[in-house]
Amino acid sequence: MEHALVMRNITKTFGGVPVLIDVDFTVGKGEIHALIGENGAGKSTLMNILGGVIPKDKGDIELFGEIEEFHTPAEALAKGIAFVHQELNVVNDLTVYENLFLGHEIRGRFGKLNKAEMIRKTEEVFGRIDVKIDPTAVVRDLQATYKQIIEIAKSVLFNAKLIIMDEPTTSLTQHEVENVFRVMKNLTEQESATIIFISHKLKEVVEFCDTFTVLRNGEVIGTQTTRGEGGDVVDQADIARMMVGRDVINVEVYKERNEGDVLLSVKDIRVDGHVNGISFDLHRGEILGITGLLGDGKEELARTIFGDIRRSAGTMELGGKPIDPRQPAAARGLGIGMLPSNRKENAIIKDLTVAGNMTIVTLPDYRRGFTLVKSREYDAAERYKERLNIKVQDLHHLIGSLSGGNQQKVVLAKWLIAKPDVMLLCNPTQGVDVGAKNEIYNIIMELAELGMGIIVTTGEAAEAARICDRLLVMYHGDLQGELNRQDFSEESIMILSTGGHLH
Amino acid sequence: MGTTVSAVRTSNKRGAFNRFAREYMIVLITIGVFISATIACTIKFGDPSTFLNMQNMVNILRASSVMGIIALGMAFVIISGNIDLSVGAQMVFVGIASFNVINGLEPHIGPYGAIVVGIIAAMAMSVALSMMCGFIVTKGVVPSFIITLGLSYIYRSLSIFVLQSGGINISTKVFQNISNTNLGIVPMPVVYFFIVFAVYLYISRYTVMGRRIFAVGSNSQATRLSGINTDWIKIQAFALLGLTVAIAAIVEGSRMNSMNSSSSGLGYDLNTIAMAVVGGIAMEGGKGNFVNVLFGIIILGMINNVLTIMGMDVYLVNAVKGGIIIAAVLLLRSRGKLN
């Protein structure tokens, strides 16, 4: 097989600490090659070296048979390397097609923009990846998930030869993920592109990728094909063990619990354009999952309960009393907490320290008179750092210095300190690696055991199946079906979430 | 945990230097301006003591104190993610109202009672106006830049209309004692400035309100989703500014024994913003340190002072001042970028 990329003996140290140690990484032409490992294993560093973002200390890069040296991302791009970043690099005030062609606008005579042609090409690209987005829509009005699709569409548009995708599917649900991978398959088969795919989702790795390389602590643990000689698929648990060095996926996180009385009762909630009359009861000690595809309304439903968006109709009762939170501060006062999705935009206060982020919800509790007593604040942060096993050298460091999983635990901690009765968790393991995922699941179990009512919205059926007692499946704002734990199967969840019916 | 640990460690090592540079760059700039001013005066007059003498140092502080007081309030508003261009006009508007109260009450309740009532009225009115401004900005979801620009026109125009472009004097001589007396060699305006500084430093570091103002400026959405009424926090930041504007109106009015509707408070808006920004308050909000703002205020005070001593053409003073402000902010920024 021809090689698209050969990286040899790549070594990189930051301030005397080795991050990559003699890494050999070979990618065959036309394959989808997954690069996996826990946060901090060195994946991003390796790809940043390839993309010309940071220099390497040692080693060679051979791209399509030529030894190359990239000093800037622009040089890498010129050689056909496109980097689809995890962060959303879209301009909110421009339209979809303007974002796609940003910096590469098609011009007519006198430099006049050829809008019709750009819109046509945008439609063509969206046609290829089978997504329905109006090219002339303003990006601000789109959901974050569509923004991610625009990012991916960019590299499709420019027909890059080697595409690096850094967790492009983090905020996508099953259906969109399949679309994206179908496009990726098309690219590799028909347009002979090669794709390096960085992901935490092992399911996607075994289903859609040809080969995978596992990095751990800056070293290559191994490179394997996802299908053996006889075509049998590699076990996800084996990959996870390679990544973490111990068994994680088969670990049972679910624990039987006794459920209490009805805690939160939601009746006929409507949010214009998103939720069409949803009713359910949440019991004390229950973990209720809400799942569905992109645009199903689960996120809006959670935000409505938290008072973040206004419902157009419906009633809510908490502990038998009617409630009507008009903003998150009111919901917090009633004992409702929410861990929002898209951590960076919605949950991280980047100029505050780790401790500052952990205590932001409960700040008035650490006062003596008017004065904030730092030692009390620090004690609370320290306690929850221990309890949630948050890996941080110093609670006074800025929150940005932590890995995704640890940031997520900090966000969780700020609500746990407040001890809410109802906790809404939106995509609780978004951008969190496999090891930390289990820790977060264990925390959720522990909270339910203590009698908290928990609602988890998630796009991952496997996640819902691992932790939830009961699952509501939404489809275009309607409640399509309800499953009890014994009836969970990825198949039935998929049928319901695509608008089908069981039996 | 390869990269994470190493990233943290490198940022520790380089971060330590950065933190030092960020925290103390402003001190270095202050010393730099101080030495340059001394050298410039020595060259021009052959005698460093024209700039470098105790009385002149006190002068610098006194001349900076009124705007410095407002700059402390301005710092909170900028940290919260807003800006206020109406402080100069608001100071005049509030001052005129308050002095009318004092003049009107003095024959009835005597000078001391009238002054106390006048000061309380100034504070209540100014805080209320600023909170109203914050209310319009947050509930209307409109940029504070344009709202406060509009308010500035309104306050200035109403002041000029009421006094027919003239000024207002205060009948009681007692009022002048507020600003024109000394504590030892320290003029009272400087004392007031340091009291406000101490209180605002405390608020910024040791109160729930202070912390939340930083949080709102850093990420308003995340703060809102932490169950905090972010509109109220932004209004509180405006209230803290309103209070300093009232104090500035009293101190300024007492020092001059008058408030002029068309000439008082001119340029105070941009000067106080410059003090805060030179003092390291980031325009994008969420970042800043009040000790550094103190240095920002002193730097601008020294620049004004030395240009006056050097006898620079008044028409040129602002050009030089502008250049120094830009240079100082660039220096502060370049250190921050190393991070």
pLDDT in tens, A57-109: 999 999 988 888 888 888 888 888 888 876 667 888 999 999 888 878 888 88
Residue A92 falls within a domain, yes or no? yes
Cα separations (Å) of B225 from A287, B24, B219?
A: 21, 35, 10
Instruction: Give the closest-approach CA distance of B202 to chain A in angstroms.
Output: 9
Residues 6+ apart with CB under 8 A from A372: A363, A366, B206, B207, B208, B210, B211
Whether residues B127 and B258 fall in one domain: yes
Are B2 and A217 an interchain contact pair (Cβ–Cβ within 8 Å)? yes
Residue A249 falls within a domain, yes or no? no
Q: What is the mean pLDDT of residues B242-264?
A: 95
Boundary-marking domain end, from A218, A244, A270: A244
CA distance A60 to A10: 7
Whether residues B100 and B204 fall in one domain: yes
Q: Are A113 and A106 in contact (CB under 8 A)?
A: yes
Q: What is the pLDDT of residue B180?
A: 93
Q: Are A56 and B16 in contact (CB under 8 A)?
A: no
Residue A256 falls within a domain, yes or no? no
**Per-residue confidence at B8, pLDDT binned at 50, 70, 90?**
very low
Residue A253 falls within a domain, yes or no? no
Percentage of residues of chain B with pLDDT beyond 90? 74
Are B286 and A44 an interchain contact pair (Cβ–Cβ within 8 Å)? no
Q: State the total domains in chain B.
A: 2
B13-26 as b/e: b if 16+ CB within 10 A: eebeebeebbeebb
Residue A257 falls within a domain, yes or no? no
Q: Which residues of B touch A40 (CB under 8 A)?
A: 1-5
Q: What is the pLDDT of residue A493?
A: 83
Whether residues A311 and A456 fall in one domain: yes
CA distance A192 to A156: 12
Residue in A with minimal Cα distance to B205: A372
Q: What is the mean pLDDT of residues B106-126?
A: 96
* Secondary structure string (H, E, C) spanning A182-234: HHHHHHHHHCCCEEEEECCCHHHHHHHCCEEEEEECCEEEEEEECECCCCCEC
Q: Identify the three-state secondary structure at position A491.
A: helix
Q: Is a pLDDT exceeding 60 seen at residue B39?
A: yes
**Per-residue confidence at B151, pLDDT binned at 50, 70, 90?**
very high
Range of the domain at B335: 14-52+289-339
Residue B60 falls within a domain, yes or no? no
Q: What is the pLDDT of residue B3?
A: 34
Whether residues A380 and A317 fall in one domain: yes
Q: State the total domains in chain A.
A: 2
A361 closest CB neighbour out of B3, B219, B227: B227
Are A360 and B8 an interchain contact pair (Cβ–Cβ within 8 Å)? no
CA distance A468 to B328: 57
CA distance A52 to A177: 28
Q: What is the mean pLDDT of residues B129-142?
A: 96
Q: Which residues of B touch A351 (CB under 8 A)?
A: 214-215, 217-219, 286-287
Residues of B with CB under 8 A from a CB of A: 1-14, 206-208, 210-212, 214-215, 217-219, 221-229, 286-287
Which is more confident, B64 or A81?
B64
Compute the CA torsion angle A332, A334, A335, A337 (nearest 10 deg): -40
Q: Which residues of A touch B9 (CB under 8 A)?
A: 14-17
A329 closest CB neighbour out of B5, B207, B229: B229
Whether residues B192 and B297 fall in one domain: no
Q: Which residues of A touch B81 (CB under 8 A)?
A: none
Are B227 and A337 an interchain contact pair (Cβ–Cβ within 8 Å)? yes
pLDDT in tens, A195-245: 999 887 788 888 889 999 999 888 898 898 888 777 777 888 888 888 877
Boundary-marking domain end, from B214, B234, B266: B266
**Per-residue confidence at B338, pLDDT binned at 50, 70, 90?**
very low
Q: What is the pLDDT of residue B13?
A: 53
Q: Are B250 and B195 in contact (CB under 8 A)?
A: no
**Per-residue confidence at B11, pLDDT binned at 50, 70, 90?**
very low
Whether residues A353 and A219 fall in one domain: no
| Interstrand relation of A58-63 and A3-14 (parallel, antiparallel or unpaired) | antiparallel
Instruction: Give the closest-approach CA distance of B93 to chain A in angstroms.
Output: 32
**Per-residue confidence at B17, pLDDT binned at 50, 70, 90?**
low
CA distance B276 to B200: 13
Q: Which residues of A touch B228 (CB under 8 A)?
A: 328-329, 332, 360-361
Are B225 and A40 an interchain contact pair (Cβ–Cβ within 8 Å)? no
**Per-residue confidence at B5, pLDDT binned at 50, 70, 90?**
very low
A349 closest CB neighbour out of B11, B223, B227: B223
Whether residues A303 and A345 fall in one domain: yes
Write out the E strands in chain B: 167-169, 182-183, 186-187, 258-260
Whether residues A100 and A68 fall in one domain: yes
A348 closest CB neighbour out of B217, B222, B227: B222
Are A351 and B7 an interchain contact pair (Cβ–Cβ within 8 Å)? no
Which is more confident, A50 or A186?
A50
Residue B48 falls within a domain, yes or no? yes
Q: What is the pLDDT of residue A145?
A: 66
Q: What is the mean pLDDT of residues B154-169?
A: 95
A186 touches chain B (CB under 8 A): no
Are A40 and B214 an interchain contact pair (Cβ–Cβ within 8 Å)? no
- Helix B188-206 / helix B230-256 crossing angle, nearest 10 deg: 170
Q: Identify the three-state secondary structure at position A138.
A: strand
Residue B4 falls within a domain, yes or no? no
A368 touches chain B (CB under 8 A): no
Q: What is the pLDDT of residue A19?
A: 84
Q: How far is CA A68 from the centre of its chain?
A: 33
- Work out the number of other CB atoms within 10 angstroms of the CB of residue A486: 5
Whether residues A210 and A289 fall in one domain: no
Residue A254 falls within a domain, yes or no? no
Instruction: Kindly report the average pLDDT of chain A as a whole number.
Output: 87
Q: What is the pLDDT of residue B334?
A: 66
A349 closest CB neighbour out of B7, B9, B218: B218
- Helix B54-79 / helix B188-206 crossing angle, nearest 10 deg: 30
Whether residues B22 and B107 fall in one domain: no
A328 closest CB neighbour out of B2, B208, B225: B225
Q: What is the pLDDT of residue A282?
A: 96
B10 closest CB neighbour out of A14, A346, A372: A14
User: Which of A372, A398, A421, A432 to mutate to probe the B interface, most B CBs <10 Å?
Assistant: A372
A352 touches chain B (CB under 8 A): yes
A328 touches chain B (CB under 8 A): yes
Percentage of residues of chain A with pLDDT beyond 70? 95
A365 touches chain B (CB under 8 A): no
Whether residues A432 and A284 fall in one domain: yes
Whether residues B40 and B92 fall in one domain: no
Boundary-marking domain end, from B266, B300, B324: B266
Are B14 and A15 an interchain contact pair (Cβ–Cβ within 8 Å)? yes
Residue in B with minimal Cα distance to A331: B227
A349 closest CB neighbour out of B3, B13, B219: B219
Q: What is the pLDDT of residue B337?
A: 43
Q: What is the mean pLDDT of residues A286-303?
A: 88
Whether residues A61 and A27 fall in one domain: yes
Q: What is the mean pLDDT of residues A240-262?
A: 81
What is the end-to-end Cα distance of chain B in Å, rounded?
Answer: 21
Percentage of residues of chain B with pLDDT beyond 70? 91
Q: Is a pLDDT exceeding 50 seen at residue B2?
A: no
Closest by CA to A468, choosing from A257, A300, A292, is: A257
**Per-residue confidence at B112, pLDDT binned at 50, 70, 90?**
very high
Which is more confident, B268 or B20?
B268
B10 closest CB neighbour out of A15, A338, A347: A15
Whether residues B217 and B160 fall in one domain: yes
Q: What is the pLDDT of residue B115?
A: 96
Whether residues A354 and A292 fall in one domain: yes
Whether residues B215 and B310 fall in one domain: no
The CA-based angle A352-A355-A358, given to 5 degrees, is 95
B8 closest CB neighbour out of A308, A372, A393: A393
Whether residues A239 and A293 fall in one domain: no
Residue B275 falls within a domain, yes or no? no
Residue A252 falls within a domain, yes or no? no
Boundary-marking domain end, from A190, A216, A244: A244
**Per-residue confidence at A443, pLDDT binned at 50, 70, 90?**
very high
Q: DSSP of A39-99, one letter per residue?
A: TTSSHHHHHHHHTTSS--SEEEEEETTEEE--SSHHHHHHTTEEEE-SS----TTSBHHHH
Give the CATH number, domain containing residue A199.
3.40.50.300
Residue in A with minimal Cα distance to B4: A40
Q: Is a pLDDT exceeding 90 seen at residue A177?
A: no
Whether residues B42 and B83 fall in one domain: no
Whether residues A235 and A317 fall in one domain: no
CA distance A184 to A182: 5
Residue B284 falls within a domain, yes or no? no
User: Which of B224, B225, B289 to mutate to probe the A interface, most A CBs <10 Å?
Assistant: B225
A348 touches chain B (CB under 8 A): yes
Q: What is the pLDDT of residue B72?
A: 98
Which is more confident, A461 or A116?
A116
CB pairs under 8 A between A and B: 133
Whether residues A235 and A270 fall in one domain: no
Whether residues B143 and B23 fall in one domain: no
Q: What is the mean pLDDT of residues A42-53?
A: 88
Q: Is a pLDDT exceeding 80 seen at residue A191?
A: no
- Work out the number of other CB atoms within 10 angstroms of the CB of residue A78: 11
Are A18 and B2 an interchain contact pair (Cβ–Cβ within 8 Å)? yes
Q: What is the pLDDT of residue A226?
A: 87
pLDDT in tens, B238-251: 999 999 999 999 99
Residue B1 falls within a domain, yes or no? no
Whether residues B47 and B78 fall in one domain: no
Are B3 and A345 an interchain contact pair (Cβ–Cβ within 8 Å)? no
CA distance B155 to B149: 10
Boundary-marking domain end, from A210, A244, A278: A244
Are A40 and B222 an interchain contact pair (Cβ–Cβ within 8 Å)? no
Range of the domain at A409: 262-497
Are B9 and A40 an interchain contact pair (Cβ–Cβ within 8 Å)? no
Whether residues B213 and B123 fall in one domain: yes
* Portion 99-138 of A in contact with B at CB < 8 A: none
Are A360 and B215 an interchain contact pair (Cβ–Cβ within 8 Å)? yes
Q: What is the pLDDT of residue B188?
A: 96
Residue A503 falls within a domain, yes or no? no
Are A15 and B227 an interchain contact pair (Cβ–Cβ within 8 Å)? no
What's the count of helices (H) and strands (E) in chain B, helices before strands?
11, 4
Structure tokens at A199: 């992901």
Q: Is a pLDDT exceeding 60 seen at residue A375?
A: yes
